[in-house]
Amino acid sequence: MRSTPSFKLAAADNSSGTWTPSGGVQFLTVPLELAGQRIDNFLLARLKGVPRSRIYRILRKGEVRVNKGRVKAEYKLKTGDVVRVPPLRVADTTPAPLAGASLRQLVKASILYDDNGLLVINKPVGLAVHGGSGIRLGLIEVLRQIYPQSPFIELVHRLDRDTSGAIMVARKRAVLQHVQADLRSGRVDKSYLALAAGKWPRSRRVVEACLRKNTLKSGERMVSVHPDGKPSVSRFQVLERFRATTLLAVEPMTGRTHQIRVHAQFVGCPLAGDDKYTPDDVNRGFRSLGLKRLFLHSASVGCQLPDGEKVVVAAPLPDELGALLKRLREEMG
């Protein structure tokens, strides 16, 4: 009888490692370090070159089995689980590109905190947090190249590509699970700085609006306020008023896509430099002042680690945003 090829993921396996098709069924045994990870994320991290839609299809059809049984995409793996992966056609086996020396140095220089299984990075604007949708190299891929011997590196939460500032990355699964649980229960502090067009209403300190994601024919993802959307809450505090703009501190109480940007638009004060939700004529005015990006910055993050230690990390405001604020203050006289 023909034997079925199999292999075991070693305890030191990096979740960024690529899966190599064997032409037949493969069996992957889950090590301790990956216990608790959802099966869909487990497969997405390993089946490089396999379309995301294909991975979810084989899960729905039961072609992926865990311990010989069908599981849903949200199933959380346990140590020793045996995952059956069917033969799959790989669309693109080209390895992910290596980060250039300048990008690696930029990310290294942006590390604000690295201790107790937690990384906090001052993410540069324009850098996606992960590859996908035409982006082959993001922050998480660069970090895995910087820390090639690290057994575990995963995003705790996300930032838009156009947003700069503090973002948390876990280097231990226990830290990831603990901080994400606190995120879901609202026990993680996240504070942003945002510059809004217009005069923010003094009485509008909390915005509650359901948000729904939409995909345009062009493939662009947009978010809008809609009663069928997911509940979302943001707290806004006016820090400084200028002639036609308002500097705000924002605390998102939920973590919806584009939440702060759409909530600001909903109030009638869209964010400066936002090419998705701010009118072109308004953005032209900001460009004339030298702003070439979205004015949204993750100013600080705070969380409690599994051992009870409280970590609060602040991310300095990028020079280009500080320069704009200086110019606005000078105009005020």
State the residue for tokens 């998480």.
140
Q: With contact defined as beta carbons under 8 Å apart, do 160 and 139 qualify?
A: no
Which residue in 325, 332, 276 sits closest to 299, CA to CA?
325
- Give residue 43's Cα distance to chain centre: 18
Task: Catalytic residue, from 40, 81, 160, 274: name it.
Answer: 160
CB atoms within 10 A of CB 92: 10
**Burial of residue 7, with CB atoms counted within 10 A of its CB: 0-12 exposed, 13-18 middle, 19 or more buried:** exposed
- Tell me which amino acid residue 96 is: A
Task: Quote the CA–CA distance of 47 and 63 in Å, as a whole number.
Answer: 14
Active site annotation includes 115: no
Kindly list the distances between the CA atom of residue 16 and the CA atoms of 105, 161, 225, 229, in Å, as whole numbers in the listed order: 20, 20, 36, 33
Length of the chain: 333
Active site residues: 160
